[in-house]
């Protein structure tokens, strides 16, 4: 895995899309994303943010399949962060748990990058699978928001993610 | 870890002048002096021309082995075959024991070349006026360099690696590094030294040929550097050798180490308002046997106290919090300076330093929000704090992504000669606390781009590069990008005179401008 790919923090879904295992291509997936967003907006009562978050997530997944300009590939991790963290803020709102989840996510992301630069190691596959990757975490959060339990979900996710990262990091440093 | 064998090269070009290796520097000839300094580190071998052996042999210290060779190919073959790590130095180097200690510590077990450059002020000045001797395929670029005619080998180093050396360097990219005459070769990389075929003599720069051979064989060569200001001379004749030895004896090594402990390229606030006194704290810590990690932990603890003070909500507590935050930041500078002063680097320390920087900032922002809520503000402060956190994460991630792409480009040996230059401080692990964000001084050019030199991106990048050479503009740019020193100072100041809401909006506003500026510059460079 290249350093840039490591920084993207792709989960199982995004990785398999990127490797073209699904027999679809960019435009098709994009059209599907738009349809999903419209359906979500139609089903939900006026107001909530989660249909837009769902659309954003679908678009981001569509971008995984489409080929971005290779010269701008370095912007991809930052865009994914902005999407993920922005979605957390939009869905969980003015709650300390939103901030806590962001802090846990930041610790997760910085730890991966700093360890890669300083020691040249990446976290093991099982740790990445459990942490979910940006698309699965966001999917979970959108689902929680649609069910109206965004804030409790954040309250659970934040310490869980932080705990996972601390444990895995400590294991890697003492190994 | 095995003890490396130090190999001194006494292979001067044939010529009229007596070789500097035999010139007296103090009591001993240059090569013998160097050999004596190295014998306490491990086995020392002197690799010399057969013609020099009669004069050199009697004056070498007893523990040294003398190996004679007749031509370049034989020398390379001897170096390539054998077991154990090597540290190869040009035999005409005059330096102090501290520099050699640091060199061996920095290169232990790895393949690295010692580089110096104008960025850290260690470019060798000409001691003999013998400008631009064409010493074969490696040295013939030296004549083309716009320095004071020093007889040195240009090198390119980026992201802590040597990318090109000698004639492979692109002078148009403004090579700011030189190869100083020392190359460490790990045992696994020794066979690569024989990969260059027969060729002209390299004269005084065989070490550069070794680097070229390693790069040619696609072996990574790290860029090692010494603390700025430690003397390292390669005199060309007798008076220069004596002058160099005198210079070494006259150096106040403690003073040099202390000044070199301060990062060469840091933020404005840190460089002018913190480092002048924090380096003395670093020396104080060193004298009491404190380790950098202890200082890092202390800095974090004080940062948490600052956050707690902000959380109390009233003005007096905010003042206390501001003072504590500045104290925490000063200690944050001290731990890196302590590591550089004592030469003790650890990867765990670098990681801890970086992670705690983030943790301090997040704790302080949370403290501000809690204090603001207590003072009557609304819960939307959490969103503002989250947005400030997100902005900083986005900015850092842009830095990381850009650096990753640059590093990936560098790793392709075919493209190695034409590459961007980077902060030479990248060698030390503490540079991983990459706060100001690496913004290349020069554009990266890909050989496939015919490159329309008159196109707007090219002109804009060239204009930016020229602008950065004006000191006032250079520092202004460093402030605009809002590095950690400026951020903590901003938080401290506004916490005292304004409300948490104002502080958070200021971070968002200035941070947004900084991100637009940095991103715009990088976009230009990527598209140029």
ipTM: 0.86
Residue A69: pLDDT band (50, 70, 90) is: low
Tokens describing residue B304: 């948490």
Please name the member of A7, A71, A86 whose beta carbon is closest to the beta carbon of B404: A7
CA dist., res. B515 & res. B393, Å (int): 11
Check if A74 contacts B (Cβ < 8 Å): yes
Alpha carbon of A44: minimum distance to chain B alpha carbons (Å): 24
| Residue B432 to residue A114, Cβ atoms within 8 A | yes
pLDDT tens per residue, chain B (528 residues)? 688 999 998 888 777 677 888 887 777 788 889 999 999 899 999 988 888 888 888 888 888 899 998 888 888 889 998 889 999 999 889 999 999 999 998 888 889 999 987 544 333 322 222 222 222 222 223 333 333 334 678 888 887 888 888 766 655 455 578 888 899 999 999 998 887 766 666 667 888 888 888 888 888 888 888 888 899 988 888 888 889 999 999 999 999 999 999 988 888 999 999 999 999 999 999 999 999 999 999 999 999 999 999 999 899 999 999 999 999 999 999 999 999 999 888 888 999 999 999 999 999 999 999 999 999 888 889 999 999 999 999 999 999 998 888 887 776 543 332 222 222 332 222 233 334 333 333 333 333 344 455 567 777 777 777 777 788 888 888 899 999 999 999 999 999 999 999 999 999 999 999 999 999 888 888 777
Question: Per CB distance under 8 Å, which residues of B are interface residues toward A?
Answer: 347-348, 350-351, 354-355, 358-359, 362, 366, 369, 378-383, 385-387, 389-390, 393-398, 400-402, 404-405, 407-408, 429, 432, 434, 526-527
Tokens describing residue B146: 């716009």
pLDDT at residue B437, rounded to an integer = 35
Alpha carbon of B325: minimum distance to chain A alpha carbons (Å): 19
Residue partners of B59: CB distance under 8 A and separation at least 6:
B28, B29, B32
Tokens describing residue A47: 């107001």
CA dist., res. B346 & res. B361, Å (int): 23
Where would I find the H helices in B185-291? 206-216, 238-250, 253-260, 268-269, 275-287
Which residue of A49, A91, A99 is the best one to mutate when testing the B interface, meaning the one whose CB has the most B CBs within 10 A?
Answer: A99
CA dist., res. B469 & res. B397, Å (int): 27
Residue labelled with tokens 């606030």: B269
CA dist., res. B470 & res. A59, Å (int): 44
Q: What is the mean pLDDT of chain A?
A: 80
Tokens describing residue B438: 């690496």
Alpha carbon of A86: minimum distance to chain B alpha carbons (Å): 7
| Residue B404 to residue A74, Cβ atoms within 8 A | yes
Q: Which of B159, B95, B85, B118 is nearest to B428 (CA)?
A: B159
Element (H, E) at B65: strand B64-69
Element (H, E) at B278: helix B275-287
Exactly one of B357, B399, B423, B425 is catalytic; name it: B357
Q: How many CB atoms lie within 10 A of CB B82?
A: 14
List, as ranges, residues 122-141 from A with C-beta within 8 Å of B.
none
CA dist., res. B354 & res. A109, Å (int): 13
Of the two residues A122 and B362, the one the predictor is more confident about is: B362
Q: Which of B520, B431, B517, B437 is nearest to B473 (CA)?
A: B517
Q: How many CA atoms lie within 13 A of A145 on its CB side?
A: 25
pLDDT at residue B136, rounded to an integer = 24
Longest Cα separation, chain A: 52
Residue labelled with tokens 């160099």: B244
Active site residue B357: yes
Residues of B in contact with A86 (CB under 8 A): 390
Which residue of A6, A49, A68, A75 is the best one to mutate when testing the B interface, meaning the one whose CB has the most B CBs within 10 A?
Answer: A75
Please name the member of B351, B382, B397 whose beta carbon is closest to the beta carbon of A99: B382
Residues of B in contact with A82 (CB under 8 A): 390, 394
SS3 call for B286: helix
Residues of B in contact with A103 (CB under 8 A): 362, 366, 389
Q: Which of B4, B7, B100 is nearest to B45 (CA)?
A: B7
Answer whether A73's CB lies under 8 Å from B397's CB.
no
Strands (E) located in B411-496: none
Residue partners of B399: CB distance under 8 A and separation at least 6:
B434, B437, B438, B518
pLDDT at residue A104, rounded to an integer = 96
Strands (E) located in B192-286: 222-224, 232-233
Which residue of B220, B222, B400, B515 is the best one to mutate when testing the A interface, meaning the one whose CB has the most A CBs within 10 A?
Answer: B400
| Residue B390 to residue A95, Cβ atoms within 8 A | no
| Residue B526 to residue A71, Cβ atoms within 8 A | yes
| Residue B366 to residue A99, Cβ atoms within 8 A | yes
Task: Find the helix packing angle between B500-527 and B471-480, rounded to 10°.
Answer: 120
Q: Which of B381, B158, B322, B344 is nearest to B257 (CA)?
A: B344
Tokens describing residue B442: 């020069």
pLDDT at residue B395, rounded to an integer = 94
What number is the average pLDDT over the span A155-165? 93
Residue of chain B whose Cα is closest to the Cα of A89? B383
pLDDT at residue B286, rounded to an integer = 93
φ, ψ of residue B74 in degrees (nearest 5): -65, -40
Please name the member of B385, B395, B432 whose beta carbon is closest to the beta carbon of A99: B385
| Residue A86 to residue B351, Cβ atoms within 8 A | no
Please name the member of A89, A111, A117 whose beta carbon is closest to the beta carbon of B390: A89
SS3 call for B197: coil
Residue A36: pLDDT band (50, 70, 90) is: low
pLDDT above 80: residue A133 = yes
pLDDT at residue B148, rounded to an integer = 30
pLDDT at residue B419, rounded to an integer = 24
DSSP secondary structure string for all residues of B293-353: HHHHHHHHHHHHHHHHHHHH-SHHHHHHHHHHHHHHHHHHHHHHHHHHHHT---HHHHHHH
Handedness of CA A46, A51, A56, A62 (dihedral sign): negative
**Rg of chain B taking only CA atoms, in angstroms:** 26
Which residue of B381, B404, B515, B525 is the best one to mutate when testing the A interface, meaning the one whose CB has the most A CBs within 10 A?
Answer: B404
Residues of B in contact with A74 (CB under 8 A): 398, 401-402, 404-405, 526
Residue partners of B382: CB distance under 8 A and separation at least 6:
A94, A95, A96, A98, A99, B369
Of the two residues A20 and A72, the one the predictor is more confident about is: A72
Q: Which of B4, B316, B315 is nearest to B185 (CA)?
A: B4
pLDDT at residue A38, rounded to an integer = 67
What number is the average pLDDT over the span A67-76? 73
Check if A94 contacts B (Cβ < 8 Å): yes
pLDDT above 80: residue A35 = no
SS3 call for B94: strand
Which residue of A103, A105, A107 is the best one to mutate when testing the B interface, meaning the one whose CB has the most B CBs within 10 A?
Answer: A103
Q: How many CB atoms lie within 10 A of CB B254?
A: 12
A–B interface: beta-carbon pairs under 8 A: 112
What number is the average pLDDT over the span A40-48? 60
Stated pTM of the model:
0.81
Longest Cα separation, chain B: 88
Where would I find the H helices in B142-222? 206-216
Task: Find the helix packing angle between B484-497 and B347-374, rounded to 10°.
Answer: 20
Answer whether B125's CB lies under 8 Å from B148's CB.
yes
CA dist., res. B88 & res. B196, Å (int): 17
Residue of chain B whose Cα is closest to the Cα of A88? B386
Please name the member of A7, A73, A78 whose beta carbon is closest to the beta carbon of B394: A78
CA dist., res. A115 & res. A130, Å (int): 19
Tens digit of each residue's pLDDT (9 = 90 or more) over B202-229 = 667 888 888 888 888 888 888 888 888 8
Of the two residues B13 and A32, the one the predictor is more confident about is: B13
pLDDT at residue B392, rounded to an integer = 95
| Residue B398 to residue A75, Cβ atoms within 8 A | yes
Where would I find the H helices in B81-144? 97-107
φ, ψ of residue B117 in degrees (nearest 5): -170, 170
Residue labelled with tokens 């503002």: B384
Residue labelled with tokens 């990091």: A169
Q: How many CA atoms lie within 13 A of B234 on its CB side?
A: 23
Task: Find the helix packing angle between B275-287 and B315-342, rounded to 10°.
Answer: 60
Of the two residues A120 and A66, the one the predictor is more confident about is: A120
pLDDT at residue B237, rounded to an integer = 82
pLDDT at residue B427, rounded to an integer = 26
CA dist., res. A165 & res. A158, Å (int): 11
CA dist., res. B119 & res. B265, Å (int): 8
| Residue A114 to residue B398, Cβ atoms within 8 A | no
Tokens describing residue B461: 């990048």
Residue partners of B328: CB distance under 8 A and separation at least 6:
B299, B300, B302, B303, B306, B360, B488
């Amino acid at each position: 895995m290249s350093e840039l790919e490591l920084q993207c923090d792709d989960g199982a879904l995004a990785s398999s899309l990127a490797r073209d295992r699904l027999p679809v291509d960019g435009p098709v997936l994009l059209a599907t994303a738009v349809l999903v967003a419209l359906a979500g907006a139609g089903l939900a009562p006026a107001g909530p943010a989660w249909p837009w978050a769902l659309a954003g997530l679908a678009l981001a997944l569509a971008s995984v399949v489409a080929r971005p300009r290779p010269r701008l590939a370095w912007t991809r991790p930052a865009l994914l962060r902005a999407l993920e963290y922005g979605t957390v803020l939009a869905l969980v709102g003015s709650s300390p748990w939103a901030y806590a989840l962001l802090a846990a996510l930041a610790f997760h992301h910085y730890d991966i990058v700093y360890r890669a630069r300083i020691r040249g190691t990446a976290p093991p596959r099982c740790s990445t699978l459990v942490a979910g990757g940006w698309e699965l975490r966001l999917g979970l959060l959108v689902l929680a928001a649609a069910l109206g339990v965004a804030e409790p979900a954040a309250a659970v996710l934040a310490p869980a993610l932080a705990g996972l990262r601390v444990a895995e990091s400590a294991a890697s440093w003492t190994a | 870890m095995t003890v490396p064998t130090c190999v001194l090269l006494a292979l001067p070009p044939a010529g009229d002048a007596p070789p500097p290796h035999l010139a007296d520097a103090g009591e001993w000839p240059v090569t013998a002096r160097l050999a004596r300094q190295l014998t306490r580190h491990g086995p020392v071998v002197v690799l010399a021309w057969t013609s020099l052996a009669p004069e050199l042999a009697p004056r070498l210290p007893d523990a040294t082995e003398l190996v004679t060779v007749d031509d370049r190919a034989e020398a390379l073959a001897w170096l390539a075959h054998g077991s154990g790590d090597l540290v190869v130095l040009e035999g005409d180097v005059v330096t102090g024991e501290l520099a050699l200690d640091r060199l061996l510590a920095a290169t232990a077990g790895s393949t690295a070349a010692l580089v110096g450059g104008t960025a850290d002020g260690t470019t060798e000045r000409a001691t003999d006026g013998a400008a631009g001797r064409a010493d074969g395929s490696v040295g013939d670029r030296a004549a083309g360099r716009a320095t004071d005619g020093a007889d040195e080998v240009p090198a390119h180093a980026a992201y802590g690696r040597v990318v090109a050396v000698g004639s492979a360097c692109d002078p148009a990219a403004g090579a700011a590094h030189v190869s100083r005459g020392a190359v460490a070769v790990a045992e696994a990389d020794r066979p690569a030294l024989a990969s260059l075929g027969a060729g002209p003599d390299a004269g005084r720069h065989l070490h550069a040929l070794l680097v070229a051979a390693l790069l040619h064989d696609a072996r990574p060569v790290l860029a090692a550097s010494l603390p700025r200001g430690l003397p390292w001379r390669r005199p060309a004749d007798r008076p220069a050798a004596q002058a160099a030895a005198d210079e070494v004896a006259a150096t106040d090594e403690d003073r040099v180490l202390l000044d070199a402990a301060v990062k060469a390229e840091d933020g404005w606030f840190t460089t002018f308002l913190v480092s002048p006194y924090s380096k003395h704290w670093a020396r104080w810590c060193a004298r009491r046997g404190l380790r950098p990690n202890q200082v890092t932990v202390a800095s974090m603890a004080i940062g948490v106290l600052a956050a707690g003070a902000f959380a109390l909500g009233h003005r007096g507590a905010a003042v206390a919090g501001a003072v504590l935050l500045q104290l925490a930041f000063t200690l944050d500078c001290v731990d890196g300076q302590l590591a550089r002063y004592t030469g003790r680097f650890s990867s765990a320390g670098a990681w801890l330093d970086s992670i705690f920087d983030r943790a301090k900032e997040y704790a302080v922002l949370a403290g501000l929000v809690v204090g603001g809520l207590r003072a009557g503000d609304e819960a939307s402060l959490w969103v503002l704090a989250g947005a400030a956190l997100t902005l900083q994460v986005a900015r850092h991630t842009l830095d990381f992504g850009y650096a990753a792409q640059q590093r990936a480009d560098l790793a392709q040996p075919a493209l190695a000669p034409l590459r961007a230059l980077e902060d030479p401080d990248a060698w030390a692990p503490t540079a991983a606390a990459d706060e100001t964000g690496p913004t290349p001084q020069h554009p990266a050019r890909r050989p496939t781009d015919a490159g329309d030199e008159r196109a707007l991106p090219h002109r804009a990048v060239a204009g930016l590069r020229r602008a950065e050479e004006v000191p006032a503009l250079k520092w202004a740019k460093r402030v605009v990008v809002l590095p950690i020193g400026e951020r903590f100072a901003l938080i401290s100041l506004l916490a005292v005179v304004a409300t948490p809401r104002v502080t958070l909006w200021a971070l968002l506003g200035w941070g947004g401008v900084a991100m637009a500026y940095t991103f715009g510059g990088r976009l230009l460079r990527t598209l140029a």
